[in-house]
Amino acid sequence: MTTILFISAIIAGFGILIWGADRFVDGAANIATNFGVSPLIVGLTIVGFGTSAPEMLVSALAAIDGAPALGIGNAIGSNITNVGLVLAITLLIAPLTVHSDTLKREFPVLLFVMVLSLLLLLDNDLSRGDGIILFSGFMLTLAGMAWLAIKGSNKQDPMEAEFEAEYGSAKMTAKQATFYFVIGLVSLLIGSKSLVWGATGIAHLLGVSDLIIGLTIVAIGTSLPELAASVMSALKNEHDIAVGNILGSNIFNILAVLAMPGLIAPSHIDPMLLYRDLPFMIGLSVGLYLFARYSANGRIGRVAGLLMLFVYVSYNGLLVYQNTPGLS
């Protein structure tokens, strides 16, 4: 009976998070548009932050509930899932072509913040100082994206044209947008609490660590908004937005989501995070960059999607092997 309750809480949490994230992003984007904020800023900062809101709240609540490892696993696992599963599925549905100069700026930023996280965790601790550094980086990144959008506005940039089409005009009044924003935020809080309670309960029942649950079940669930956003963008032929959703979310996951456990509940980390999980995360992101950089005309095709999916499945197979008694 207890197992059924935990599983139900996880499923309900996922559902509420997906529904809430959609309302939260729509509300926030339309509030900004009603106040005359440029579509590029809306797309790069508000929407990117909004799709990472589930991860942030889940990691914060996990740390508050005494399970910081679940929050750490969620941050790293979501980045692995975003590239190895979300982007891979998107590529299998519709190959993507990356043209935007904005995205070419985001790739180095993503690689930098991943290496930064690795350096901060080399002492096997996620300290409050680490959390402050990461969250400060998050605030600087938001400000930098906004500044670049204002200073370097370029109507010829495909990504800016896509954002203009998507967020160029408000689709609801300021009052409606505020209602969507508030109801979305409340739903995110409820969904996060339900998911954390169910996930930690399942971890204890199965005898596996909070880190593993965060890297797998929770990471997949909190990455569902990115999957929906990227697939819809790809189907609308908004290729740069589809890839941008992943890059922006992964930057925010490292700087904001990973910061939450450090700020709220500093703790030691599992050494396997350094030797297994972070290398997989960095390797997948480097692979994505190489595909985008050196493929013809920036086109990332189905073969790349299959390779990313193979790496993701292999990684999860390794987790199962290492954490199943009698196998490892």
Distances (CA, A) of 251 to 50, 63, 128, 148, 186: 13, 20, 19, 16, 24
Contact at 8 Å (CB) between 244 and 159? yes
Highest mean pLDDT among 70-74, 104-108, 241-245: 70-74
Residue 24 has pLDDT above 90, yes or no: no
Q: What are phi and psi of 300, to 5 degrees?
A: -105, 115
DSSP secondary structure letter of residue 296: G
pLDDT (0 to 100) of residue 279: 93
Q: Which of 31, 52, 102 is nearest to 229 (CA)?
A: 52
- Position 108 scores a pLDDT of 86
Nearest to 42 by CA among 127, 145, 124, 125: 145
pLDDT of residue 60: 92
Question: Which pLDDT score, from 0 to 100, does residue 25 have?
Answer: 78
Reading the block at residue 289, the tokens are 């960059």
Phi then psi for 324, rounded to 5 degrees? -110, 115
> Looking at residues 234-249, what average pLDDT do you find?
78
Domains located in the chain, CATH noted: 2-323 (1.20.1420.30)
| 317 burial type by CB count under 10 A (0-12 exposed, 13-18 middle, 19+ buried) | exposed
- 268 pLDDT above the threshold of 70: yes
pLDDT of residue 118: 92
Tens digit of each residue's pLDDT (9 = 90 or more) over 289-318: 888 877 777 788 889 999 999 999 999 999
* Matching residue, tokens 């990227």: 230
Which residues on neighbouring strands pair with residue 267, listed in sequence order? Answer: 126
Q: What integer best gives the mean pLDDT of the chain?
A: 84
What is the model's pLDDT at position 52? 77
The pLDDT of residue 80 is above 70: yes
pTM of the entire predicted model = 0.87
